[in-house]
Amino acid sequence: MIVERDQIRKILLIIVAHMGDVVLATPVTRALRSAFPAAVLHMLVSPLGEEAARHNPFINKTIVYTVTNWEKDRSLLRKLIAGLQQEQYDLALASHYGSLGPMLAWLSGAKYRLGFDADGGAKFLTHVVPSLRGAIVHESEKQLATLEPLGITTRDTGIVFAIYPEEVRNLRQKVTVIHDRPLVLICPFSSHSHKDWTIAGWTSLLQSLAQTARCFLLGGQKELPPVQRLAAAAGNAAEVFAGSLTLGETAALMAEADLIITVDTGPMHVAQAFPAPVLALFGPTHPQVWGPRRPHDVVLYRPQECSPCWQKAEYWPYKCGNHACMEQIPAADVIQAAKSMLQRRPTLQPI
């Protein structure tokens, strides 16, 4: 079936996955907006990706998939399907691996349905893209591959994250940013503990940076207790803002930062939208697939024999007991990299 592009007026992009996956879909939405400037573009996401989707400037509407159990939540599922079919989409894309996205594309009733052949999803699609499992391809490029049946190609994998005026105003009420010394934002914990670095390493880093920089510890509400313990272990060398900022407010703060230090977590991808360099610590996941890619970013990665183990069947669900790949990253290396990046930082203007 040939896609008649002039007939595409309403598009559904399906990414029922994590926040980072939604942020890394920015290149797909930008390419779709460029190819179909007059089309209506909706994004279907999970609650984990909702806030990120609402900050995508290329999206007209965000739909949240709240079905957690198809057997128990049949009324929610029927409501979702009815709502999707009522939209009368011309094109539906599932840019994430798995069968759920392709199945929802099929249930939407869209004439053209694009996605990967992984995990049984091909039977729901009109145009199938070969999966790239095993290949070292960045997630943003992998998602862009779903556009190939449309004849759309692009090398622009840059991230865009819109900041709204009310988020800047709210941030000003919560945080006072004084540019008398460098501002370093630190995201020390992931929602998956095997991605975390050591408390001893973070403590050494904070105590070293606090001598010349102002350090803020960030994270969600779930990360607040470990962040508070880390701050105490470091002698309160950093201010704690975990659990007190929305994602949009965090982004507004990133826009004023001089350096962002993080493990592999959602905010790391959001940080790619702003000028501050990112120092990322990697272990279980492959930095060439998930890491920052700009010239001024730095990744510290000490792979072990089993690295990267993320979603490898022999290590699922995370059978590694010592997380050696993260523990082997020396604090001295992180401190040296951070200080070097601060020395060559550009001068940023407050938003």
C-alpha–C-alpha distance, residues 319 and 314, integer Å: 8
Task: At 171, list the tokens.
Answer: 């941030």
What is the reported pLDDT for 320?
64
Q: Torsion over CA of 128, 52, 259 and 225, rounded to 10 degrees? A: -120
What is the reported pLDDT for 287?
93
Task: At 1, list the tokens.
Answer: 């079936």
Class of domain 5-150: alpha beta
The reply to whether domains 5-150 and 165-343 share a CATH topology is: yes
**168: helix, coil or strand?**
helix
Superfamily of domain 165-343: Glycogen Phosphorylase B; (3.40.50.2000)
In the chain, where are the structural domains located?
A: 5-150, 165-343
Distances (CA, A) of 52 to 24, 26, 144, 250, 267: 10, 10, 18, 11, 10
C-alpha–C-alpha distance, residues 202 and 190, integer Å: 14
Q: Hunting for tokens 């057997």 — which residue is that?
A: 71
Segment holding 116, helix H or strand E? strand 112-116
User: What contacts 266, CB < 8 A, 6 or more positions away?
Assistant: 18, 19, 20, 23, 52, 247
Beta strands in 196-250 (DSSP E): 214-217, 239-240
* Residue 319 per-residue DSSP state: -
What is the reported pLDDT for 307?
73
What is the reported pLDDT for 178?
81
Residue 94's nearest CA partner among 76, 71, 69, 112 is: 112
Segment holding 140, helix H or strand E? helix 139-144
- The HSE-up count of residue 233 (CA atoms within 13 Å, CB side) is 16
* Cβ atoms of 44 and 13 closer than 8 Å: yes
Task: At 259, list the tokens.
Answer: 């350096």
Burial-class residue 169 by CB neighbours within 10 Å (0-12, 13-18, 19+). Answer: exposed
Q: Please, what's the b/e burial string for 23-44 (b: 16 or more CB within 10 A of its CB; e: otherwise)? A: bbbbbbbbbbbebbeebebbbb
* Cβ atoms of 147 and 92 closer than 8 Å: no
Digit-by-digit pLDDT tens for the chain (351 residues) are 788 888 999 999 999 999 999 999 999 999 999 999 999 999 999 999 999 999 999 999 999 998 877 777 888 889 999 999 999 999 999 998 889 999 999 999 999 999 998 888 899 999 999 986 667 889 999 999 999 999 999 999 999 999 999 999 999 999 988 888 999 999 999 988 889 999 999 999 999 999 999 999 999 999 999 999 999 999 999 999 999 999 999 999 999 999 999 999 999 999 999 999 999 999 989 999 999 999 999 999 998 777 777 655 555 445 566 678 899 999 999 999 999 999 986 654 444
Task: At 318, list the tokens.
Answer: 């995370």
- Please state whether 314 falls in left (phi above 0), alpha (psi between -120 and 50) or beta: alpha
* Cβ atoms of 170 and 57 closer than 8 Å: no
